[in-house]
Amino acid sequence: MAKKNLILDVDTGIDDAFALLFAARHPEINLLGVTCVDGNTNLKQVVINTLKVLDAAGAGDIPVSKGATRPLIDEPRYAEHIHGSDGLGDLGTPLSTRALDPRPAVELIRDLIEASSEPVTLVPLGPLTNIALFLRAFPETAAKLERIVLMGGSASSGNATPAAEFNVWHDPEAAAIVFSSGVPITMYGLDVFMEPRVNAAQAAALVAEGNTCSSFAGRLIEHFIKQVGHEVTLGDYGAVASAIKPELSTYETFKVVVDTTFGPGRGQTLCDRRAWKDDGDATHVNAPAVKVAMQVDVPAMINLWLETISGK
């Protein structure tokens, strides 16, 4: 079976955990490495959480390294009201004994791409700070990437603000660098992010299976449901699913401009969806064309995740 080489960049985070568990366990994914970025919570906690999740997944020796402790320009702003004070549902999961890779995130990404004989897809699931720094530091290596499939942005509404999705809003300058890098981009954003959802019965079934991965995943879902009061999205996982099974989503290609101004639109991914264009200026004409996920096959995405997590 042909495996797909992925590097995940995460700000773990409950739904990053759903994505990591899946990436570490799916037989068609060769998870080359994981890099951590400040986002849902601070970098130190993101690293702790990421190592714990890899333990829960029963993952092998996958290199994990630390990246940026803050956005390029803005101060960090966390999302602990959603992800728990530890960013991982406050489940009291024991600390991991895994060792961190000593290389900074940008160097680990470079080394993994250079060492791979097969194409590599980068899957950022948090703010794009590490990815922007990597693109600027090692453009020749970046040019070898097959694609970047990122969770971020929106062709419709935002969540952090009416205009902006959290990951792009957290570091708009980094996002602008990534979107205009010339690397083929798939944006798995808020247009589809909330669609694949799991409920309390599915969480209970995972816990009842009793293996470490499924009960960890089930308890995370239960915490998340308690927090929001209804079924919850598998969120970032969808971007990983799209990276290996693009046929599970349908896409439209838009020219995208990231708003880096300091007004109410800061962090918006302004997608040119006009049917009739009467261009006042060339901003959008010259903008990068991005493949944007607009619909997902919800049952297929949920089943793929449940089967992979429960090992069925």
* 169 Cβ contact list (under 8 Å, min separation 6): 158, 160, 161, 266, 267
3-state helix, strand, coil in the chain (%, to 5): 40, 20, 40
Nearest CB to Ca ion, comparing residues 82 and 207: 82
What residues from 122 to 151 belong to the interface with Ca ion (CB under 5 A)? 125-126
Binding residues (CB under 6 A) for ligand BDR: these are: 13, 15-16, 40, 79, 125-126, 151, 159, 165-167, 235-236
Q: Contact between 17 and Ca ion (CB under 5 A)? A: no
Give the nearest distance from C-beta 282 to ligand BDR in angstroms: 30
Tell me the one-letter amino acid at 168: V
To which H or E segment does residue 252 belong?
strand 249-258
Residue 235 interaction partner, one of Ca ion, ligand BDR, none, beta carbon < 5-8 Å per kind: ligand BDR
Closest CB 262 distance from ligand BDR, rounded Å = 20
Q: Of 16, 171, 191, 222, which one interacts with Ca ion (CB under 5 A)?
A: 16
Helical residues (DSSP H) of 190-248, grouped into ranges? 190-193, 200-209, 212-228, 237-244
Least Å from the CB of residue 83 to ligand BDR: 7
Tell me the CA distances in angstroms from 114 to 100, 106, 145, 276, 286, one per residue in order.
20, 12, 10, 44, 31
- The encoded tokens of residue 251 equal 């896409």
13 binds Ca ion (CB under 5 A): yes
Asked if 159 and 190 count as a contact pair (C-beta separation under 8 A), the reply is yes
As given in the structure block, the two tokens for residue 287 are 């903008």
**Near Ca ion by CB under 5 A, which window of 72-80, 89-97, 120-128, 170-178?**
120-128
- 159's contact among ligand BDR, Ca ion, none, with CB below 5 to 8 A by partner kind, is ligand BDR
Q: Tokens 């097959």 sit at which residue?
A: 146
How far, in Å, CA of 41 to CA of 78, rounded?
A: 5
Which 235-264 residues touch Ca ion, going by CB under 5 A? 236
Q: Which is nearer to ligand BDR, 82 or 300 (CB)?
A: 82
Residue showing the smallest CB distance to ligand BDR in the complex? 166
Binding residues vs Ca ion (CB under 5 A): 11, 13, 16, 125-126, 236
